[in-house]
Amino acid sequence: MTSAWKLRESPRRTHHQLAPRKSFDIRFLLLFLAAGASGCTQKPASPQAPTPRVQFVTVEPEIRLEVIDWGGTGRNVVLLAGSGNSAHIFDEFAPKLAAFSHVYGITRRGYGASSHPESGYSEQRLAADVLGVLDQLKIAAPVLVGHSMAGEELTRLGAEHSDRLAGLVYIDAASDPSDWPGSSPEYIALYSKLPAPMRDHPGPSPSDTKSFQAYREWQTRSGEVAFPESELRSVYTTNADGSMGRHKTDGNIHRAIGEGAEKRDYSKIRVPVLALFPVSSGKPYQPRNAQERAAIAEFDTATDAYVNRWKKNLQSAPGGVRVVNIPKANHYMFLSNPDDLLRELRTFIAGLPKS
């Protein structure tokens, strides 16, 4: 299986990105690299979808978190976004999920409309924030669904508060900060040997950021998923002329979260776990010669070694683990492959013990 990663810097992103088209997210490379995305556009939310309710919950003195309630009936589901995103990244997926569950989303501190304090970004504190929201809103026995870096909160809460949860769902969120490819000089050296088309992708031009819709169109042309406009407006400022401004989250916050991440230990998670991995999004690069073919194969082998270790580590969770590979998917699987995710989530939730 040919990987198609790219290392790039975009003036409209907060940090460098390694965007995988294999089966895991790339997050906090040397504390600055985070998961990116590539794939197809998402379907718009149904026009009949109810207007979500937005409220703010105080989790510490002067620290308020944005909480979105998309409604629905059935099992409580709480969505946690990845690095750089707010809960509004789920604005087009959550109404579909609400067809068989009551869906909430939490914007972690430092992002979007939530408070942006200078401290409080350890894994323990971020997990405590989520628990504080569950307590104050009396959200009983939820399924926590985390994307990308939200695997930190999921793992911590599952290890320490399985009695409060019904299940955990990792959406390309099982990478281990203590076994991270971006921290390996040898791995980065392999990446640097990949053919240039697999590494070099231009960022948006000024015309691509003249409006939020123009940026979404650029995302689509670039082979990415287009984020909901509500998400872009949540995490980016708006300039006086209506163009898209800077990301609202300071780079120090990204670094603090990276430094606060801990080794994954699933051995104390007593609730069922569903782990979803994207596989092979986009058109594979066709090597031009034997040298390129060998470089790609060597890189793929190294990548698979990391992913296989992460999957094996997941199996240590005593509550039971189902690992599912989603074909032709993107890091933002809930945007690129919403129907696949809805199917897996529906099956997972239906199989949980009644609360």
pLDDT at 24 over 80: no
pLDDT band at residue 201 using 50, 70 and 90 as cut-offs: confident
Pick the closest to residue 55 from 107, 126, 110, 118 (CA basis).
Answer: 107
Stretch 197-203: mean pLDDT: 84
Stretch 224-233: mean pLDDT: 96
Question: What is the pLDDT, as a whole number, of residue 198?
Answer: 87
Q: How far is CA 94 from CA 52, 234, 342, in A?
A: 10, 16, 10
For the record, the structure tokens of 159 come out as 């290890």
pLDDT tens across 32-44, in order? 233 332 233 333 3
Place of tokens 């984020």: 227
Topology given in CATH for the domain delimited by 53-179+256-292+306-350: Rossmann fold (3.40.50)
Strands 143-147 and 63-71: unpaired
Locate the domains of the chain by residue range: 53-179+256-292+306-350
d(CA 137, CA 116) in angstroms, rounded, equals: 22
Pick the closest to residue 5 from 175, 192, 180, 205 (CA basis).
Answer: 192
Question: What is the pLDDT, as a whole number, of residue 291?
Answer: 95
